[in-house]
Chains A and B, each alone.
Chain A
């Protein structure tokens, strides 16, 4: 098997259901570099190290300079890059302002205080299954749940979901390396337009909140005047686009991958039913075993870096394959085993370093509540098809549908 075909296979949709044998192959060349392609890093410690390496840049401008126009262009449509595509100090400033309305030290209870509300949303969705004995978990639960949550948190009307979904889908597709490779200018233009239109839609809401602030993050973003000053309107819009998309796209996959994994390992589903507290360990092991973000394709290096004796020249594109590192036998005993009882569940599932997942506390809580409630309420759930059909995306990997049959609701 040549390296070229290996990277191609990883992004190839045909292998979406189970890329892990390919990741195992990938780890045999811990720094893989194909002609004209990125440097692909797949071992746990190498990825962890590079996530903390100040010679690695997330700046969209550096990525464009490295020749990845498809990835960088959507950012150049009038909206400035969001903080996920920036380096310090801009990244730090924007993330601090965003965090001042989301987490500690300024808002330490914002997420925890949503616990009851999250439970109600989950209960409502499960009750909504009605008398049917088969559901598509994605469309009926795993998608609507985090969408409802992020809408409430940001202050986006839930009923607008069909509108913004039409913009979110092409933006997310633009993150998929396989789609981009075959992308024509029409496709690229679609992704650019979508981001602009989503920005304009949010601009309307931001304008309302400027006049009349409410108890939501959009209001906080426009009214924030802490030690870092205020965001410009364009920064508010770029940040809102990021939070809206990142706030649900990944969680859908975490919940769906989670239920799929539990149905494949029913002993844990059973234990979770008896002990909802186990959801904490289950979600951490899921973030290792089936991470919702499989790889980080947007980094470059701004200096020569040597990894395992291979020099990655300044200006190169770097892919960090989190999902491969999460199953690195150098780091994890029996890495291909789903084992929430592991002594030290650590993982790269939420990244690490300054770009580590902004919404991690919310995503964890959503997944914990979703999985423990599904375990508790579905009577004798089972997979209708295995593997299920997957979404196109190789980066944000997860089932497109997950059909589950069950005997009733508790």
Chain B
């Protein structure tokens, strides 16, 4: 019976994908590639075909790429009905219908939710509306910011030194603009990579001429009489004059439209199983609703079955492919989404890449290269295991460390590696901030993580 249903679904069922960005597009392509012949609808709140976001904080700001031409390449024809520029506003699980902002409703037999995240706005609305205050998530955001940077502002102020904020700071410096960056934590990137690596990122910024202010928060944005931003007030009572402000405070998951639907959806995303099936609010897995991309949060066997939310490009692709496959496959042929988290960034001429889940790391060992030279591989350990690695300008080594993570290799790393320096002989505390304190969002969120569980247990390697 169940097999009959899947056969029917593959032939003439209706699949609706809410979210027309990277995950949505790749899922649609996978559905068609795997033989789905039914009706396919993609719903997206932006009026554009799916486009790529990583260039928006890099090449686009430098004028090397147009914000209007970062469309994602299509792998194949998907023969879909596009509903672009109209947001989904509700979900009726019983009637199996998605409600749209224009009042329309779309019926589905199986649904994929890939609504992703949006930039967290500046909390004070009147200040956020000042001319010159920008978020950076969409191509419209990037187009607006690019125009303003090109006009040569006297100073750009960036609130938040996560990856996005740091990349914008890098682009500004490359354009020769004066930049101030404010960060609540002690250094840039600490939420994602910890304080040791964050200190390297801090040096990178200051040596490239960024006015970096750490352990401060922004208390107010001040406008001039005609509503243009003029100055930024900080918690240390200093005031910085700036005519462009970029708010880079991490992201919020687009789940509000599911309120009351009965799905297990909330500020941390939509919980799903390793096969990408959504949980309802009772913790029961649904049959017909699947989740993929930044909005999903799913358990990972390699990381203690904790629920991971990953805002990573590669994760969006991998999870979309698994979700699409599972949507049109009988349960015996379903696959788990066990992608090892990986992300990259590029700032101030340095390529940064990470694999695994650095924020789980208690300790860090620089197994290759040197922090001072800003070319290194750092390995994070958690309870005697290798749990993550990060590289600065040493990307080619990370494949090896990914395998070490996958096989649960012992930590500390006691074997010799090429280019091991004296500083890399012993682990040091990775120095992550207390996860209960707010900071810019790390790019990996561990949702089952409790500060009280933090303890050091080392298993000797031999």
Contact = CB atoms under 8 A, between A and B. Distances in A.
Contact of B415 (A52, A89, A304): A304
Contacts of B419: 54, 87-89
Counting contact residues on chain A (CB < 8 A from B), the size range is: 20 to 34
Which of A49, A55, A89 lies at the interface centre, i.e. has the most chain B CB atoms within 10 A of its CB?
A: A89
Please report whether the interface of chain A is mostly helix, strand, loop or mixed according to DSSP.
Answer: loop
B367 interface: yes
Interface in B375-429: 375, 377, 396-397, 399-400, 403, 415-419
B170 interface: no
Nearest to A59: B418
A54 B417 contact: yes
B277 to A, nearest CB: 29
A302 interface: yes
B416 A49 contact: no
Contact of B399 (A52, A57, A89, A314): A52
Contacts of B415: 55, 303-304
A302 B417 CA distance: 7
Contacts, number: 49
Contacts of A53: 400
Given A87-B418, A302-B416, A54 B397 contact: yes
Contacts of A304: 415
A353 B368 contact: no
Contacts of B418: 54-57, 59, 87-88, 302
Contacts of A68: none
A49 B406 CA distance: 13
A77 to B, nearest CB: 25
A53 B367 CA distance: 12
A353 B395 CA distance: 9
A304 B419 CA distance: 17
B67 interface: no
A354 B396 contact: yes
B353 to A, nearest CB: 13
A235 interface: no
A52 B400 contact: yes
A381 B367 CA distance: 55
Given A88-B368, A89-B369, A52 B397 contact: yes
Interface in A69-115: 87-89, 92
Contacts of A59: 418
A287 to B, nearest CB: 19
Given A87-B418, A89-B419, A304-B415, A52 B396 contact: yes
Contact of A353 (B367, B369, B396): B396
A54 B396 contact: no
Interface in A283-311: 302-304
Nearest to A303: B415
Interface string A48-64: 11001111110100000
A87 B397 CA distance: 13
B89 to A, nearest CB: 41
A400 B377 CA distance: 44
B55 to A, nearest CB: 16
B403 A54 contact: no
Contacts of A57: 418
Interface of A: 48-49, 52-57, 59, 87-89, 92, 302-304, 314, 353-354, 356
21 contacts: A52-B396, A52-B399, A53-B400, A54-B368, A54-B418, A54-B419, A55-B417, A56-B418, A57-B418, A59-B418, A87-B418, A87-B419, A88-B368, A88-B369, A89-B375, A89-B419, A92-B375, A303-B415, A303-B416, A353-B396, A356-B396
